[in-house]
Structure 1
Amino acid sequence: MLIPILKHYLLWCGAAFLAGSIPFGLVLVKLAGKGDVRTQGSGNIGATNVMRAGGKGLGIATLVLDALKGFLPVFIAKQAGYSAEFLAFVALASVVGHVFTPWLRFKGGKGVATALGAVLGYHAPMVLPALGTFLVLVAIFRYVSLGSVAAAVVLLLTAMGFLGTWARLPVHEGMAQWPILAWTLLVGLVIRKHAENLNRLLHGQEHRLWGAK
């Protein structure tokens, strides 16, 4: 009985991984005739670098599409009646797909927009503290990387219930460790992908969202 259930779960996570692996930023920039986004700016395929390479329109489109590929797998699984514990792993799978896309030799983006979409599909109120943190820090310091890392930390605190139960889905008694594990891995992955940005921040070399370093 356990093996068929495990296979079923793996299929859901595999589908979420494939959805997350679609490199929308790369595709949009190439379709717009702007070249390969991986050879421009930071080399990242995410919305921020797409905006640098192709303009605000392409950047916004990439942000929306990257968020959707995290949102839809989690939302569909939620509508199908799956538990909060399993939904967290579907969310993780979509972000892993974006960060390690097999279509680009497992070199993808940093997972922020896809994580945002996944959280919205999981439980929309859960995104509010993290999103607020991101917007405030970016407005003040103009560093997207700083806002992203801080927002990821706040997201984990929210998932663990430190900001109240209103911001997270209820879990079955004795099962809380599983969604916390999934969200910890997701947040850790996003922060790890920002290691170079954090190093540049420490040395005053990080690019601001607009203006000089």
Structure 2
Amino acid sequence: MSSPSLSSLVLWCLGAFLCGSIPFGLLLVKLAGKGDVRQHGSGNIGATNVSRVGGKALGIVTLLLDILKGFLPVFLAKRLGLGEPVLALLALWAVLGHVFTPWLAFKGGKGVATALGVALAFKASMVLPALGVFIVLLLVFRYVSLGSVMSAAALPLVLLWKGAPPMVLLLWSGISLLVIVKHHENIGRLLKGTESPLWGAKKEKAHV
């Protein structure tokens, strides 16, 4: 595994941030002639809100593109032989790009799909346990937000179990914390019992 120079590392981080910052949900809904997704539902630019505003097909495309924009920079760096701490750092910057996209006044999505993308590129085996947590909680409780928060929390725990080095654990804990914090409103509604489920909720009143 190689280590880049400081200048190269800065460029890699910038590239990961810009790649993660592309607001695919916003762009796709506008191209579909359905207006600004931020003015509907939860106001989020992620796949869940896009599916409620623009339909399931548009939501699926948004999900795949948001995964891809996280996957790509980490995958390229991995193919070039960069070490795991660098890959974890790039993963964090890609998720930061989605959450704080500069094209939308640094207001973006909640980072779930992009976190999935960087995880797939970083170590695909860490995704299955987290995905299992998401699916089980979604099927039982119907809340995307609950599944998202708990699956994000599972990622660094999986790495800890796999014996990842401290720096990698720290960076992935940062990614997990970022996703959880971005769901703070959902967490509040879950605690109050007012969160809208994935199915059976009206489009304009969905909060995920």
TM-score range, shorter chain: over 0.9
**Residue ranges of structure 2 left out of the alignment (5+ in a row):** none
Quote the residue 1:75 is aligned against. 75
Other structure's SS at 1:160 match: helix
- Correspondence 1:58-207 to 2 at 5 A: 58-161=58-161, 164=162, 176-207=165-196
Identical amino acids, percent of aligned pairs: 63
How many Å separate the matches in 2 of 1:150 and 1:90? Answer: 22
Per-residue CA shift, 1:171-196, capped at 9, x if unaligned? Answer: 6xxxx221111101110000000000
**Residue ranges of structure 1 left out of the alignment (5+ in a row):** 166-170
- Correspondence 1:5-20 to 2 at 5 A: 5-20=5-20
Per-residue CA shift, 1:102-125, capped at 9, x if unaligned? Answer: 000000000000000000011111
Other structure's SS at 1:33 match: coil
Q: Give the partner amino acid of 2:86.
A: F
TM-score, length of structure 1 as denominator length: 0.91
How many Å separate the matches in 1 of 2:37 and 2:189? Answer: 20
Q: Give the partner amino acid of 1:7.
A: S
How many Å separate the matches in 2 of 1:134 and 1:23? Answer: 24
Per-residue CA shift, 1:53-97, capped at 9, x if unaligned? Answer: 000000000000000000000000000000011100111110000
Q: Give the partner amino acid of 1:69.
A: K
Which structure has more relative contact order (CA 8 Å, sep 6+)? It is 2
1:17 is displaced (CA, Å) by 0.2
1:10 is displaced (CA, Å) by 1.0
1:101 is displaced (CA, Å) by 0.1
Quote the residue 1:55 is aligned against. 55
How many Å separate the matches in 2 of 1:74 and 1:180? Answer: 16
1:141 is displaced (CA, Å) by 0.6
1:52 is displaced (CA, Å) by 0.6
Structure 1 segments (4+ residues) deviating >4 Å: none
Size of the alignment, in residue pairs?
A: 199
How many Å separate the matches in 2 of 1:128 and 1:135? Answer: 10
TM-score, length of structure 2 as denominator length: 0.93
